[in-house]
A and B are shown apart, each in its own frame.
Chain A
Amino acid sequence: MSKILVVDDESSIRLLYSEELADEGFEVVTAGTAAEAAERVAQEEFDLMILDIKLKNESGLDLLQKIIRERQNLPVILCSAFSCYKDDFSAWLADSYVVKSSNLQELKDEIRKVLAKKAQRQNLH
Chain B
Amino acid sequence: MELECCWKTEIIESAQCPNIMDDERELRFSLKRRLLEKCLECPRFGNDLEILARTEPSLSMVLRHLAAEYLDQKEQIHYMAGFLNSRNRELQFLHEIGIVLQTSMELDEVLSVAMTAITAGKGFGLNRAFLLLIDDEKRTLNGYLGVGPKTYQEAWQTWEEIGRDDFSLREMAKIFHDTKLSFEKAKFQDLLEQLTVPLDDQSHILNRALLNGKPMLVENAFNNPGVDPVLARILGVDTFLILPLISRKRRIGMIIADNFITGKQITGDDMESMEIFVFPAALAIERASLHERLQEEVEKLSKANSKLKEQQELIVKMEKMALVGKITSSIAHSIRNPLMIIGGFARSLQRKLDENDPKREYAESILYEARKLEDALTEVLGYADSLHPAMDVWDINELVENASREMRDEMAKQGVVCSLDLGINLPMVFIDYKQVAFCMRKIIGNAIEAMPEGGMIGISTRADDHDCLVLEIRDTSTTITASLQDYLSAPSFTTREQISALSVSLCKMILEKNCLSFHVERSTEGGTRYTIRLPLKKEETFHE
Residue numbers of A with Cβ under 8 A of B are 10, 12-13, 16, 19-20, 54, 81-84, 100-106
Report which of A13, A19, A82, A102 forms a contact with B371, defined as CB distance below 8 A: A102
Some 16 contacts from A to B, beta carbons below 8 A apart, are A13-B341, A13-B344, A16-B345, A81-B332, A81-B333, A81-B337, A82-B328, A82-B336, A82-B381, A84-B388, A100-B336, A100-B337, A102-B344, A102-B367, A102-B370, A103-B409
B343 at the binding interface (Cβ < 8 Å)? yes
| A105 and B409 in contact, given A16-B341, A82-B328 (Cβ under 8 angstroms) | yes
A102 & B339 in contact (Cβ 8 Å cutoff): yes
B341 & A84 in contact (Cβ 8 Å cutoff): no
B337 & A82 in contact (Cβ 8 Å cutoff): no
B385 at the binding interface (Cβ < 8 Å)? yes
Look across to chain A and name the residue whose beta carbon is closest to the beta carbon of B336: A81
Chain B residues with Cβ below 8 Å from A16 are: 340-341, 344-345, 348
A82 & B344 in contact (Cβ 8 Å cutoff): no
Q: How far is the CB of B351 from chain A (nearest CB, A)?
A: 8
In the complex, besides A81-B332, A103-B343, 11 extra interface pairs with C-beta distance below 8 angstroms are: A10-B341, A13-B340, A13-B344, A16-B340, A82-B333, A83-B381, A83-B385, A84-B385, A84-B388, A100-B340, A102-B339
A102 & B409 in contact (Cβ 8 Å cutoff): no
Residue numbers of B with Cβ under 8 A of A are 325, 328-329, 332-333, 335-337, 339-348, 367, 370-371, 374, 381, 385, 388, 406, 409, 434
B347 & A102 in contact (Cβ 8 Å cutoff): yes
Chain B residues with Cβ below 8 Å from A83 are: 381, 385, 434
B332 & A82 in contact (Cβ 8 Å cutoff): yes
Chain B residues with Cβ below 8 Å from A105 are: 409
Report which of A19, A84, A102, A106 forms a contact with B329, defined as CB distance below 8 A: A84
Q: How far is the CB of B386 from chain A (nearest CB, A)?
A: 12
| A19 and B348 in contact, given A101-B374, A102-B370, A103-B343 (Cβ under 8 angstroms) | yes
B344 & A104 in contact (Cβ 8 Å cutoff): yes
A102 & B332 in contact (Cβ 8 Å cutoff): no
Q: How far is the CB of A97 from chain B (nearest CB, A)?
A: 13
* Complex alpha-carbon distance, A35 and B534, angstroms: 48
Q: How far is the CB of B419 from chain A (nearest CB, A)?
A: 22
* Complex alpha-carbon distance, A102 and B341, angstroms: 7
| A102 and B381 in contact, given A13-B341, A83-B434 (Cβ under 8 angstroms) | no
Chain A residues with Cβ below 8 Å from B332 are: 81-82
* Complex alpha-carbon distance, A103 and B350, angstroms: 12
* Complex alpha-carbon distance, A83 and B347, angstroms: 23
Number of A-B contacts (CB under 8 A): 61
B337 & A13 in contact (Cβ 8 Å cutoff): yes
| A20 and B329 in contact, given A82-B381, A83-B381, A102-B343 (Cβ under 8 angstroms) | no
* Complex alpha-carbon distance, A106 and B347, angstroms: 14
Q: How far is the CB of B482 from chain A (nearest CB, A)?
A: 24
| A102 and B340 in contact, given A19-B348, A84-B325, A84-B385 (Cβ under 8 angstroms) | yes
| A82 and B374 in contact, given A12-B341, A101-B340 (Cβ under 8 angstroms) | no
* Complex alpha-carbon distance, A103 and B367, angstroms: 9
Chain B residues with Cβ below 8 Å from A20 are: 344, 348
Report which of B328, B346, B406 forms a contact with A102, defined as CB distance below 8 A: B346
Look across to chain B and name the residue whose beta carbon is closest to the beta carbon of A13: B341
Chain B residues with Cβ below 8 Å from A82 are: 328-329, 332-333, 336, 381
Q: How far is the CB of B42 from chain A (nearest CB, A)?
A: 113
* Complex alpha-carbon distance, A83 and B406, angstroms: 14
Chain B residues with Cβ below 8 Å from A81 are: 329, 332-333, 335-337
Chain A residues with Cβ below 8 Å from B325 are: 84
Report which of A10, A19, A102, A106 forms a contact with B342, defined as CB distance below 8 A: A102
* Complex alpha-carbon distance, A19 and B341, angstroms: 12
A102 & B337 in contact (Cβ 8 Å cutoff): no
Interface centre among B337, B340, B343, B385 (most CB of A within 10 A): B340
Q: How far is the CB of A14 from chain B (nearest CB, A)?
A: 10
Q: How far is the CB of A49 from chain B (nearest CB, A)?
A: 19
Interface centre among B344, B347, B381 (most CB of A within 10 A): B344
* Complex alpha-carbon distance, A82 and B333, angstroms: 7
Chain A residues with Cβ below 8 Å from B336 are: 81-82, 100
* Complex alpha-carbon distance, A83 and B325, angstroms: 11
Chain A residues with Cβ below 8 Å from B340 are: 13, 16, 100-102
* Complex alpha-carbon distance, A104 and B344, angstroms: 7
* Complex alpha-carbon distance, A33 and B356, angstroms: 41
* 4 residue pairs, one from A and one from B, having the closest CB atoms: A102-B343, A82-B332, A81-B336, A12-B341
Look across to chain B and name the residue whose beta carbon is closest to the beta carbon of A17: B344
Q: How far is the CB of A60 from chain B (nearest CB, A)?
A: 12
Chain B residues with Cβ below 8 Å from A101 are: 340, 343, 374
Chain A residues with Cβ below 8 Å from B344 are: 13, 16, 20, 102, 104
Chain A residues with Cβ below 8 Å from B374 are: 101-102
* Complex alpha-carbon distance, A106 and B378, angstroms: 16
Q: How far is the CB of A50 from chain B (nearest CB, A)?
A: 13
Chain A residues with Cβ below 8 Å from B348 are: 16, 19-20
B346 & A10 in contact (Cβ 8 Å cutoff): no
Look across to chain A and name the residue whose beta carbon is closest to the beta carbon of B381: A82
Q: How far is the CB of A84 from chain B (nearest CB, A)?
A: 6
* Complex alpha-carbon distance, A20 and B336, angstroms: 18
Interface centre among A13, A54, A102, A104 (most CB of B within 10 A): A102
Look across to chain A and name the residue whose beta carbon is closest to the beta carbon of B329: A82
Chain A residues with Cβ below 8 Å from B343 are: 101-103
Look across to chain A and name the residue whose beta carbon is closest to the beta carbon of B341: A12
Chain B residues with Cβ below 8 Å from A12 are: 341, 345
Interface centre among B328, B333, B339, B434 (most CB of A within 10 A): B333
Q: How far is the CB of B406 from chain A (nearest CB, A)?
A: 8
* Complex alpha-carbon distance, A109 and B435, angstroms: 24
